[in-house]
Amino acid sequence: MATCRICRGVYPQDQFISGNGPRYLVCNRCGIEQGYVSTDETPTFYDDATVRGRYTVVARRYAPWFWLLIGWMLWALFFVGTPLWGNAALAVLILSTIGIPVIHLLNGAKFQANLRRLSP
């Protein structure tokens, strides 16, 4: 992995523009910002809309795990001692703990397809 000489970011070799002189060891984003190349010349450039779309897909994939962890922590801190709401929240958390891994595994192909669709 090489380091961009302008932004000091570490990227794989396919994220760099080719050339000698001022274009040597410059990543795609810095090359476009500095005017060394156009967006048409960089096939692996992720524009801002693509980056936001990829972040959204990844966040949708892993958000249930985050909320499940938060739910267990809230239950352990606040709902252990309450009889009615503690038992109801425990039942929901147990069902979620069983269901979220199943849904995660079943939606793996859809997640990969969405990431592939959002790749340049």
For residue 64, the cross-strand partners are none
Q: Examine the pLDDT at 22 and tell me if it is beyond 90.
A: no
- 3 state DSSP class of 47: coil
Domain range annotation of the chain? 2-41, 48-117
- Predicted local confidence at residue 98, as pLDDT: 98
- Predicted local confidence at residue 65, as pLDDT: 98
Residues 6+ apart with CB under 8 A from 38: 32
| Residue pLDDT, tens place only, 48-102 | 888 899 999 999 999 999 999 999 999 999 999 889 999 999 999 999 999 999 9
Q: Examine the pLDDT at 119 and tell me if it is beyond 90.
A: no
**Is the sign of the CA dihedral 57, 58, 61, 64 positive or negative?**
negative
- Predicted local confidence at residue 38, as pLDDT: 86
- Helices 48-74 and 83-106 meet at what angle, rounded to 10? 140
